[in-house]
């Protein structure tokens, strides 16, 4: 146990055991069946007909393109599912790879979408069974609802939800066996349709004529069919929810994702193929005949080539919806369980049945909400939002797979790694974003409902969830300071070995911005020890602030002092940044360089200080202070120190220029600006804009030097060193990337920092995780 804030190098997720553990009882076959059930649902019978009406025979191409598109995201799921196999799936990975509140919002959306899907399957089953009873029985039941209130089809839907909730509570093994049996029956129904249709086509040599006009409605119809059916191939989100209950997840989850996807795409294509090729309707093209049948199109086609075809399709639809209901009941409960485990929902949801070892509370609550939706809400209107919600979730997962590789590197053990990284997840991001925008145009209501649900979640997060999460992961044990808070807030992690080294930089910024300084000390507690054990060190940690308090009082700078207890000091810093609404983090460069989790997930600007034996004065001494005017006297140019800013017009340039002005306004520095231009002699637009702002630069007394940056990091670093050396700097400021090279990771630029032989400030702006790497990759591809 220690009281420090040097962020620990984060261990891989799953390295520390959760209090509530599920048991691994599911086999590879079980989770393949879960994936197939989730992807097929009733859609293979209900959506294929309308899709054929939109695209004709080209619906087969639509299925193949959709499968290719979804493969980009499926690979991200396979990679993370093998490396981080826990309940929660996409929610868990977004929690690890994106800053707050992305995790809560993604889990909130995913839980809602899984419940919507389950409600739809239950209502679909009720409607199928209602029709199967025949018009006479159905007519009697419709006139006599139960207790005069509940229609019998709704009663069937609610009863089916209750039945599968009970099966899920009984155990994951029972859930897997039930799902496997139901899915095998479902596949038998589909295969009977395919075999009968193939036999009919074999005996009809003219069957290929039905495909002569392969794309009768053109590209527009193909795209419309893709938009209608793309969501059918997204069942891998359900597969990864089994991560904590499947045997050998590192091997089995990637296999299950790719095997189930291959089987489902093949089945969709074959059902469409035989439905078109096996019929010969009079006076109308086969594809148009099926399309005019709408959701009953496949049933009408089956009647023409399969004895009792309509009955078989109706029965297949019933079994398919039951299989999908079982899968979504399982997945929705696991999302709620994972969110409860991390205090993003009430912690009671993470309870595990003492005998069955299932998340029984999460299953019951999800089942109750699912039943209410199935009975009381207009699902047809709400269901359109599920597609948008899943697409937004997949976009976040594709970003997370990039950032998680960056944070954990080789610390994770992968059963599958995405090839051509990070191009594949970047392509996945743009493909899913394109489909989401397509839904915005074609189904604007879907976006309206999604945005409304996100806003509800965000309000809940700010008012309740965030407070609960912080209280359990990094509670404050001591907090004191000025009562009046300032708008601009600076955070300094306390460093016992040199507690005031960073303070002078924070004071300089606070004076320029009218801001306050927050100093955080974290009492780190081993993971196997309760956080309450760290409270005993609170008084000692509080007393360590005394020397810093004297300095801040002398400088008349508003300040706050915080002591937190946490198992993970990085998590405590991230929590403080959000809770205290921090604008700027002033920290040690080496600490930040080795803590990739902090550098990736923080949501504020950063000044990382690299300085050994730092004796540089940032404030005028007493002899330069005008007592009457209470402000610094002008310092002669000959007495000023040399401040060199390295500007490249990149993502961090705005923070760099602000930091330069904050230091320059002290009157202690003369400024030299090294403006970098990429090789080839051309100016990038931001470098040109700075070069043209001569009035602004002259006002600061800036000496502008333009340097052409050669290709290759060794040559680029040498060019920067040569230019900076001519200005004989006493302090250097540069961005987190210089000419596209990372100062934190590139070995040539890391060596460059040491060669400056003076304090160095690295300015880092807040950017959405993964976006900068995506931007750099795209620039390299299209260079």
DSSP string for residues in 86-115: -TTTHHHHHHHHS-TTHHHHHHHHHHHHHH
Counting Cα atoms < 13 Å in the Cβ hemisphere of 196 gives 19
Please report, to the nearest 10 degrees, the dihedral formed by the alpha carbons of residues 154, 159, 165, 169 taken in order: 170
- Grouped pLDDT means (10 residues each) for the chain, 783 residues: 50 55 86 89 83 92 92 94 90 91 92 89 81 56 52 84 92 82 89 93 87 90 86 84 90 95 94 93 90 87 88 85 88 93 91 91 94 81 80 93 89 92 93 88 88 92 89 89 89 84 91 94 89 84 86 90 92 93 94 91 93 78 48 61 90 90 88 81 44 54 83 92 92 92 92 91 80 55 54
Helix (H, G, I), strand (E, B) or coil at 19: coil
Nearest to 741 by CA among 689, 686, 780: 780
- Residue 451 contacts by C-beta under 8 Å, 6 or more apart in sequence? none
Round to whole Å and give the CA distance between 638 and 131: 93
- Answer yes or no: are the C-beta atoms of 65 and 245 closer than 8 Å: no
Round to whole Å and give the CA distance between 660 and 672: 10
- Residue 471 contacts by C-beta under 8 Å, 6 or more apart in sequence? 343
- Answer yes or no: are the C-beta atoms of 489 and 582 closer than 8 Å: yes
- Residue 297 contacts by C-beta under 8 Å, 6 or more apart in sequence? 48, 49, 50, 52, 53, 275, 289, 290, 291
- Answer yes or no: are the C-beta atoms of 773 and 744 closer than 8 Å: no
Two tokens at 133? 């009873």
- DSSP for 558-599 reads -EEEEEEEES-HHHHHHHHHHHTT-SEEEEEHHHHHH-HHHH
Please report, to the nearest 10 degrees, the dihedral formed by the alpha carbons of residues 358, 362, 363, 368 taken in order: 160
Q: How many CB atoms lie within 10 A of CB 265?
A: 20
Round to whole Å and give the CA distance between 177 and 396: 32
Round to whole Å and give the CA distance between 740 and 293: 57
Look up the pTM and report it.
Answer: 0.85
Long-range contacts of 544-548 (CB under 8 A, 24+ apart): 544/3, 544/494, 544/496, 544/499, 545/494, 545/519, 545/521, 547/499, 547/500, 548/499, 548/500, 548/503, 548/519
Nearest to 731 by CA among 660, 677, 676, 675: 660
- Residue 651 contacts by C-beta under 8 Å, 6 or more apart in sequence? 735, 736, 737, 765, 767, 772
Nearest to 606 by CA among 406, 399, 744: 744
| pLDDT (0 to 100) of residue 160 | 93
- Answer yes or no: are the C-beta atoms of 618 and 508 closer than 8 Å: yes
In terms of DSSP H, where are the helices of 461-568?
466-473, 503-513, 538-543, 546-554
Helix (H, G, I), strand (E, B) or coil at 220: helix
- Answer yes or no: are the C-beta atoms of 683 and 654 closer than 8 Å: no
Give the max Cα distance, the chain. 107
Nearest to 510 by CA among 557, 552, 547, 555: 557
| pLDDT (0 to 100) of residue 3 | 52
DSSP type of residue 373:
H
Two tokens at 554? 């002398």
The secondary element (H helix, E strand) that includes residue 522 is strand 516-524
Please report where in the chains the tokens 């790719």 appear, as a residue: 258
| pLDDT (0 to 100) of residue 387 | 84
| pLDDT (0 to 100) of residue 624 | 46
Round to whole Å and give the CA distance between 138 and 134: 6
- Answer yes or no: are the C-beta atoms of 115 and 366 closer than 8 Å: yes
| pLDDT (0 to 100) of residue 5 | 46
- Answer yes or no: are the C-beta atoms of 677 and 683 closer than 8 Å: yes
Q: How many CB atoms lie within 10 A of CB 487?
A: 10
Nearest to 109 by CA among 332, 419, 318: 332
The number of angstroms, rounded, from the C-alpha of 321 to the middle of its chain's C-alpha atoms is: 29
Round to whole Å and give the CA distance between 696 and 45: 67
Kindly list the distances between the CA atom of residue 204 and the CA atoms of 52, 60, 201, 289, in Å, as whole numbers in the listed order: 21, 21, 5, 18
- Answer yes or no: are the C-beta atoms of 393 and 90 closer than 8 Å: yes
The span from the first CA to the last CA of the chain, in angstroms, equals 51
The region, left, alpha or beta by phi > 0 then psi within -120 to 50, assigned to residue 724 is alpha
């Amino acid at each position: 146990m220690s009281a420090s804030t040097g962020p620990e190098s984060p261990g891989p997720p799953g390295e520390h055991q959760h209090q509530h553990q599920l048991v691994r009882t599911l086999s590879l076959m079980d989770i393949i069946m879960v994936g197939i059930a989730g992807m097929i649902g009733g859609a293979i019978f209900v959506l294929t007909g309308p899709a054929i009406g939109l695209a004709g025979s080209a619906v087969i191409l639509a299925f193949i393109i959709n499968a290719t598109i979804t493969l980009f995201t499926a690979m991200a799921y396979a990679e993370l599912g093998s490396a981080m196999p826990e309940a929660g799936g996409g929610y868990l990975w977004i929690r690890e790879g994106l800053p707050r509140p992305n995790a809560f919002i993604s889990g909130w959306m995913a839980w809602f979408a899984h419940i919507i899907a389950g409600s739809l399957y239950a209502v679909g089953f009720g409607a199928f069974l209602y029709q199967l009873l025949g018009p006479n029985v159905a007519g009697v039941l419709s006139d006599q609802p139960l207790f005069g209130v509940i229609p019998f089809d709704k009663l069937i839907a609610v009863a089916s939800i209750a039945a599968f909730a009970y099966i899920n509570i009984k155990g994951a093994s029972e859930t897997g066996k039930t799902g496997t049996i139901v899915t095998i029956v479902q596949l038998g129904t589909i295969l009977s349709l395919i075999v009968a249709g193939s036999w009919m086509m074999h005996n009809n040599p003219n069957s290929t004529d039905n495909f002569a006009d392969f794309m009768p409605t053109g590209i527009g119809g193909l795209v419309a069919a893709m938009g209608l059916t793309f969501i059918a191939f997204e069942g891998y989100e359900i597969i990864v929810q089994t991560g904590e209950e499947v045997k050998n997840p590192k091997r089995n989850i990637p296999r299950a994702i790719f095997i189930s996807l291959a089987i489902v795409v093949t089945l969709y294509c074959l059902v469409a193929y035989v439905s078109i090729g096996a019929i010969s309707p009079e006076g109308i093209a086969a594809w148009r005949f099926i399309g005019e049948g709408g959701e009953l199109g496949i049933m009408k086609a089956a009647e023409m080539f399969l004895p009792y075809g309509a009955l078989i399709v109706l029965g297949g639809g019933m079994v398919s919806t039951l299989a999908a209901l079982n899968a979504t009941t399982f997945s929705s409960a696991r999302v709620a369980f994972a969110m409860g485990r991390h205090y993003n929902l009430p912690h009671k949801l993470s309870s595990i049945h003492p005998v069955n070892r299932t998340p029984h509370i999460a299953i019951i609550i999800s089942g109750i909400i699912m039943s209410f939706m199935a009975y009381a809400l207009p699902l047809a209107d709400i269901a359109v939002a599920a597609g948008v919600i899943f697409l937004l979730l997949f976009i976040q997962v594709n970003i997370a797979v990039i950032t998680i590789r960056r944070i954990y590197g080789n610390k994770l053990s992968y059963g599958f790694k995405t090839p051509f990284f990070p191009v594949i997840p970047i392509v996945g991001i743009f493909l899913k974003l394109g489909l989401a925008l397509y839904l915005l145009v074609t189904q604007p209501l879907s976006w309206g409902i999604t945005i409304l649900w996100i806003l509800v979640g965000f309000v809940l997060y700010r008012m309740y969830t965030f407070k609960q999460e912080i209280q359990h992961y990094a509670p404050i044990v001591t907090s004191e300071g000025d009562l009046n808070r300032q708008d601009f807030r600076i955070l300094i992690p306390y460093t016992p070995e040199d507690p005031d080294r960073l303070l002078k930089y924070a004071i300089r910024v606070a004076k320029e911005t009218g801001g306050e300084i927050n100093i955080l000390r974290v009492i780190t507690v081993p993971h196997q020890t309760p956080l309450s054990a760290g409270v005993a060190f609170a008084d000692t940690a509080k007393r360590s602030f005394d020397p810093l308090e004297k300095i801040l009082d002398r400088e008349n700078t508003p300040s706050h002092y915080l002591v937190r207890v946490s198992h993970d000091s990085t998590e405590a810093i991230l929590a403080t940044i959000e809770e205290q609404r921090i604008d700027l983090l002033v920290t040690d460069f080496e600490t930040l360089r080795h803590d990739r989790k902090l550098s990736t997930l923080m949501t504020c600007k950063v000044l990382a200080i690299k300085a050994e034996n730092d004796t540089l004065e940032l404030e005028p001494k007493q002899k330069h202070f005008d007592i009457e005017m209470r402000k610094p006297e002008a310092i002669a140019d000959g007495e000023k120190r040399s401040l060199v800013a390295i500007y490249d017009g990149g993502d961090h340039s705005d923070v760099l220029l602000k930091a330069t002005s904050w230091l320059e306004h002290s009157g202690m520095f003369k400024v030299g600006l090294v403006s970098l231009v990429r090789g080839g002699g051309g100016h990038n637009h931001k470098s040109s804009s700075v070069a043209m702002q001569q009035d602004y630069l002259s006002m600061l007394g800036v000496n502008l030097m333009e340097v052409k940056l050669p290709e290759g990091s060794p040559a680029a670093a040498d060019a920067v060193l040569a230019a900076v050396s001519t200005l004989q700097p006493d302090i250097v400021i540069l961005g987190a990337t210089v000419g596209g090279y990372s100062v934190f990771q590139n070995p040539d630029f890391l060596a460059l920092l040491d060669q400056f032989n003076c304090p160095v400030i690295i300015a880092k702006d807040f950017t959405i995780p993964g976006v900068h790497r995506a931007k750099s990759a795209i620039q390299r591809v299209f260079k």
